[in-house]
Amino acid sequence: MVVKVEVFTSPSCPYCPMAIELVDEVKKDMGDQLEVEKIDISINQEKAVEYGLMAVPAIALNGVVKFVGAPSKEELVAAIKEETG
């Protein structure tokens, strides 16, 4: 099963590059198991509103926000594995 990972960021956010780097690193490890989409909320505000986001970075898995702030690599991998069953 492919897990859709959405990373919500903003150009002014000092922590967002770290979240993107983390997701990219996990994608490298997990390959085809992940479909990654990076969403800049300054461009795509509708999606942030739809998810009820008040802060970035935020990471959603399969349409559900799992993290606000950058998780550790272990936390992210564990959450992804939960999604795959």
- State how beta strands 64-68 and 58-61 pair: antiparallel
Tally of domains within the chain: 1
Q: Is residue 68 part of a domain?
A: yes
* Residues near 78 by beta carbon (within 8 Å), at least 6 away in sequence: none
| pTM for the structure as a whole | 0.95
Question: Could you tell me the pLDDT band of residue 45, with boundaries at 50, 70 and 90?
Answer: very high
Helix (H, G, I), strand (E, B) or coil at 5: strand
Host domain of residue 73:
10-84
Q: Is residue 2 part of a domain?
A: no
Evaluate if residue 17 carries a pLDDT over 90.
Answer: yes
Residue 33: both structure tokens together: 């198991």
- What is the pLDDT averaged over residues 6-34? 96
